[in-house]
Amino acid sequence: MWNVIKGETGRAVRSAGVLAVLAALLVAIVGTALSIGAGTALRTVQQRAADQAMDRRMELACSAVAAETGRYVDTMRMIAASAGSMRPLTRTAFAQTVRPLEQMGLTGATSIAFMVAATDEQIPRLRAVWRDRGVADLGQGVVGPQHGQGHENENEHEHVFSVFSHPLAGLTAAEGTGSSLPQAAAQALVEARHSGQVTVSDTYLPSRDTQLPPHRQQRSFVLVAPVYGPLADTGAAQSFLGWMLMEVRGQDFIGATLQHVIHGSADVQLRAHHADGTDVTVTTLEAAGDDPRDLQRGGQVRVAQRHWHLRIAATSAYLPETNSALPAAVTAAGIAASVLLALLAFTLAGSRARARAQVVEATTELRAAEQAARRQAALLTAVLDSVSDGVSVVDEHGAFLLHNPAAKSILGVTSTSDRIGSWQRHYGIFTPDGEDPFPTEQMPLVRALAGESAEQVPMMVRNLAHSDGVIISVSARPLDAASGQAGAVAVFHDITAVREREAKLAATSAALHEELAQHEADQAELRAARDELVAQKAYLNQIMDAINVAVMTVGTDGRLVHGNRVARVVLPPGEAPTVAEIAMKLNMTHPDGAPMPIEETPLVRALRGEKVNNMEALVTVHDGTRRAVAVHARPLHRTDGQVVGAVASSFDITALREREAELSAFAGIVAHDLKRPLAAVRGFAELVHESLADQTGLDEQVRHLERAMAATGRMSRLIDDLLTYATARDAPLLLAPVRLDTLMRELVDEHLTAVSADPSALIPQVYVGSLPNVRADVALIRQLLDNLIGNAIKYTPPGRAARVDITAHSAGDGWVRLEVADRGIGIPPGEHQAIFASFHRVATAYSGTGLGLAICQRIVERHGGTIAAGDNPGGGARFSITLPAASVGVEQAA
């Protein structure tokens, strides 16, 4: 026996040694893994900090560039406004205006200059004006931007002169020479003059930098602000005086701005988007070091009217926020600590193994008995742990000896209370309805301690773990002291789900009864609503049948749903004819007699979601006659917007059109018959005028004849306008693609030629932008544009050359918006809509019939478009016209 014990002890010692080695290795491996994991986690945190640092730098860089450029733009706007208010602007006044710029720290700004422009005819007067203000000689100047487009004559080119110049850093051109005007700066002058706002140019390489080494060259740009004179007392528009132009060296300007934000921690590149679509680098800043730039960011920065692109790149290891050796230090320290713990574990495990061997040798039999007892206890514990019901045991004093896992889960309280009087409060025990605390003397365990058995007593447990409360069923039995332990045992299980199912079943039954009652009430309401709808339908049918307008409603399948009395007279026979059958029955055509395809009929267009307003057509009525009708159609929608049908209404306008035709014929005959005698009167008056002009003493008679000839001329124009007014409404439309660009330039040439015939007249300045093609009647569109251009040139204050800007852009959905803006006398307040009325005139100092804009409105409306008048910023009027765009890809146009 002793030898067996000794052998077991030796094996235990050897096993303990192996376990010590394994424990030491396990501690070393786990500690090393945790150390590496901690270092990796710290590195991830540092990487996230690097990303956030780059985001902050990008945001700061964009904000800094935007703020600095905004400061330069505001400065230019202030200087231009100050210069415009000077009366007059002299060399001294200019110097006083720009001298504060020297103290504003405008980094990169080389100079600021005041520039003017003049045509060849205006140069002599311009030299005299500025000679009086202290500029000895304006020099030859340089050919500046072309103010008008589409005309190749000398009047269309302006010469630009630098009148005053003030250095800010470096050198600037001499006053009056205008010695250098890069193409980018010239384009900026045009944009600033047209927009009236501060404009930034494309970047360029100044001529002074071409002689420098490449690493010292800098691209520059100019900021241009238009200068306008003060408002006159008469309310006329501000006059354009010239430009304020500041040249800025890009590398100095942006480099100084960004250096305070980036602090040399990142590469910076700022690129400008030029008007020709190319991107050009304005400036670059490079951080120290050649390591790869693993962090990059990009963003847009607004500079005046343009957007420049800013990009930064940095090496994360060099960022101050992430430059730390903490991950490596944590990893190394963790590995070292793991090795020390492994050695300690090996030492402790070996000592424990030797002590354990001595204990095993002394207590082998006791351990065997203990193991048997443990197996029995483990079996009992496993049984209790495996049951789903809660089991609790208390001794004779009420102290808890046992709570199995199910009991802890059901009760929701892990701690125990050994005082019977505190059980209700400690566990939160209430009556099943949850209203009152459960009486302590009626608790099953209390009754069991008193020797009484309790069976399936319901109660509610409500505490922090069960805030809504759970219902349990408890059974309790007393324990016999003879069995080795006095006390009581309780078994309980959760019956919350059972109670909920019972409650839901009862609620469902009650709900079914209520639903049946509600269903019967709903049926009664539906029957009442149906009767009311039937009555309303009959009432509406009576109303629809009473009106003298044909009304038809169709469904999405195109079949008739309803037609009133007037419509039923002309409808084809059948229960529900289709739209095609209705159109065939009515033989619907356009007013000019052209057949109308089914897809162009009002109901079909409304089914496609279109709104048809006042569409004229010819139809055949029940007696076989042809009648003119005006049709309106609308789609019908559900609440979700889906089309569910269409409705159309039409009324007879035959009598109206017959009266209009009679009036048009009458007007044409009257106009034609008036023109012949009027021409005769004018001819005889001219003959008499020629015969009396050379005779003396007849000046008063000659003036009378001239007034008579002028009156005949006005009457002739009135007759022509009346004929044009009638033609604009009644003449058939011959729609075809029209090249607005070509047509507009022809009309502008005609008007300029007519004006230039008068030697005393000032030549108008006309700007024609890029114009698209439209689909229209070329004769009517020519009349429309001729009237608008003529008005823009005509209604200009005396002594001032007319200025007209003609532009166009897409209005969406197949429409083109054409705008004609002038700098004339403008439109009085409240007259912007009235000017389109027939014979309406707002400027009595100018001759006219008052039909020009009424003709324009008729032409535009016949093409389905709109025309509106408004005020032009800076003075004058702006007319906006919408016309249908020509199809994409049209090659042949009128």
Q: Is 128 domain-assigned?
A: yes
- Look at residue 427 and tell me whether its pLDDT is greater than 80: yes
pLDDT of residue 849: 64
Q: What is the CATH number of the domain that holds 868?
A: 3.30.565.10
Contact 890, 772 (CB under 8 A): no
pLDDT of residue 890: 42
**Could you read off the pLDDT of 547-560 as tens digits, one per residue?**
778 898 989 888 88
DSSP string covering 230-270: PPPTT-PPPPEEEEEEEEEEHHHHHHHHHHHHHTTSSEEEE
Q: Is 40 domain-assigned?
A: no
One domain, residues 587 and 463: no
pLDDT of residue 126: 85
Q: What is the rounded CA–CA span in Å between residue 837 and residue 561?
A: 42
Domain termination residue (choose one: 463, 494, 525): 494
Among 825, 727, 824, which residue's Cα sits nearest to residue 777?
727
Domain termination residue (choose one: 218, 250, 265): 265
- Look at residue 805 and tell me whether its pLDDT is greater than 60: yes
- Look at residue 147 and tell me whether its pLDDT is greater than 60: no
Q: How many CA atoms lie within 13 A of 492 on its CB side?
A: 28
Q: 242: left (phi > 0), else alpha (psi -120 to 50), else beta?
A: left
- Look at residue 608 and tell me whether its pLDDT is greater than 70: yes
pLDDT of residue 152: 43
One domain, residues 187 and 255: yes
**Could you read off the pLDDT of 471-510 as tens digits, one per residue?**
999 999 898 776 667 888 888 888 888 888 888 888 887 8
Contact 392, 418 (CB under 8 A): no
Q: What is the rounded CA–CA span in Å between residue 628 and residue 651?
A: 9
Q: Is 680 domain-assigned?
A: no
- Look at residue 150 and tell me whether its pLDDT is greater than 90: no
Looking at residue 589, what DSSP letter applies? B
**Could you read off the pLDDT of 91-114 as tens digits, one per residue?**
888 888 888 888 888 888 988 999
SS3 state of residue 640: coil
One domain, residues 409 and 471: yes
Among 494, 475, 477, 485, which residue's Cα sits nearest to residue 399?
485
* pTM, to two decimals: 0.38
Contact 160, 180 (CB under 8 A): no
Q: For residue 22, give the amino acid letter.
A: L
Q: Which backbone phi and psi does 64 adopt, to 5 degrees?
A: -65, -45
Measure the N-to-C terminal CA separation of the chain; round to a whole number of Å.
Answer: 126
Angle between helices 778-794 and 740-756 (to 10 degrees): 40
SS3 state of residue 323: coil
From the CB of residue 442, how many other CB atoms can be counted at a distance below 10 Å?
12
Domain termination residue (choose one: 592, 626, 652): 652
pLDDT of residue 773: 93
Looking at residue 887, what DSSP letter applies? P
Average pLDDT over residues 821-835: 85
Q: Which residues neighbour 707 within 8 Å (Cβ) at sequence distance 6 or greater? A: none
Contact 144, 161 (CB under 8 A): no
Question: 363 pLDDT band (50/70/90 cuts)?
Answer: low
Return the top range by mean pLDDT from 16-25, 96-105, 427-436. Answer: 427-436
Q: What is the rounded CA–CA span in Å between residue 749 and residue 156?
A: 13
Percent of the chain with pLDDT over 90: 13
- Look at residue 55 and tell me whether its pLDDT is greater than 60: yes
| H or E segment to which residue 469 belongs | none
Average pLDDT over residues 785-807: 89
Higher pLDDT, 165 or 535: 165
Q: Are strands 626-637 and 773-777 parallel, antiparallel or unpaired?
A: unpaired
**Could you read off the pLDDT of 268-282 as tens digits, one per residue?**
888 888 888 888 888
pLDDT of residue 707: 78
One domain, residues 758 and 613: no
One domain, residues 590 and 739: no
pLDDT of residue 176: 40
SS3 state of residue 150: coil
pLDDT of residue 889: 45
Contact 576, 527 (CB under 8 A): no
Q: What is the rounded CA–CA span in Å between residue 563 and residue 554?
A: 9
Q: What is the CA radius of gyration of the chain?
A: 50
How many whole angstroms from its chain centre is CA 700?
71
- Look at residue 794 and tell me whether its pLDDT is greater than 50: yes
Token readout for 245 is 């132009």
pLDDT of residue 845: 54
pLDDT of residue 244: 93
Looking at residue 747, what DSSP letter applies? H
pLDDT of residue 366: 56
Average pLDDT over residues 3-30: 67
Q: For residue 148, give the amino acid letter.
A: G
Contact 293, 313 (CB under 8 A): yes
Q: Is 713 domain-assigned?
A: no
Question: 808 pLDDT band (50/70/90 cuts)?
Answer: very high
Average pLDDT over residues 829-857: 72
Q: For residue 67, give the amino acid letter.
A: A
Q: What is the rounded CA–CA span in Å between residue 636 and residue 649?
A: 13
Look-up of token digits 């006059």: 239
- What is the rounded average pLDDT for all residues in the chain? 80
Token readout for 267 is 């590469």
Average pLDDT over residues 434-453: 89
One domain, residues 551 and 488: no
One domain, residues 739 and 871: yes
Number of domains comprising the chain:
4
Higher pLDDT, 861 or 371: 861
pLDDT of residue 364: 64
pLDDT of residue 881: 95
One domain, residues 740 and 824: yes
Contact 876, 237 (CB under 8 A): yes
- Look at residue 818 and tell me whether its pLDDT is greater than 90: yes
One domain, residues 466 and 583: no
In order of 148, 744, 758, 779, 790, the CA distances from 752 in angstroms are: 12, 12, 10, 21, 10
* Least reliable range by pLDDT among 259-263, 477-481, 596-600: 259-263
Q: Is 226 domain-assigned?
A: yes
Q: Which residues neighbour 262 within 8 Å (Cβ) at sequence distance 6 or greater? A: 57, 61, 268, 285, 287, 312
Q: What is the rounded CA–CA span in Å between residue 59 and residue 51?
A: 12
Q: Are strands 765-768 and 803-812 parallel, antiparallel or unpaired?
A: parallel
Q: Is 30 domain-assigned?
A: no
Token readout for 418 is 């050994």
Contact 410, 461 (CB under 8 A): yes
SS3 state of residue 651: strand
| H or E segment to which residue 95 belongs | helix 91-98
* Least reliable range by pLDDT among 214-218, 642-646, 890-894: 890-894
Query: Is-cis flag, bond preceding 798, omega within 30?
Result: no
SS3 state of residue 757: coil
Question: 59 pLDDT band (50/70/90 cuts)?
Answer: confident
Q: Is 174 domain-assigned?
A: yes
Q: What is the rounded CA–CA span in Å between residue 14 and residue 820?
A: 106
* Least reliable range by pLDDT among 65-69, 310-314, 568-572: 568-572
One domain, residues 490 and 592: no
Buried b (16+ CB within 10 A) or exposed e, 77-91: bebbebbbebeebbb
Q: Is 600 domain-assigned?
A: yes
- Look at residue 512 and tell me whether its pLDDT is greater than 90: no
**Could you read off the pLDDT of 167-199 as tens digits, one per residue?**
987 544 434 434 567 888 888 998 998 888 999
Q: What is the rounded CA–CA span in Å between residue 126 and residue 119?
A: 10
Token readout for 234 is 């008469």
One domain, residues 117 and 240: yes
One domain, residues 757 and 859: yes
Average pLDDT over residues 332-347: 74
Average pLDDT over residues 756-764: 86
Token readout for 88 is 């007059």
pLDDT of residue 891: 42
Q: Which residues neighbour 31 within 8 Å (Cβ) at sequence distance 6 or greater? A: 334, 335, 337, 338, 339, 341, 342
Q: The domain containing residue 769 runs over which residues?
A: 733-884
Q: Which residues neighbour 128 within 8 Å (Cβ) at sequence distance 6 or greater? A: none
pLDDT of residue 877: 92
Q: What is the CATH number of the domain that holds 134?
A: 3.30.450
Contact 805, 787 (CB under 8 A): no
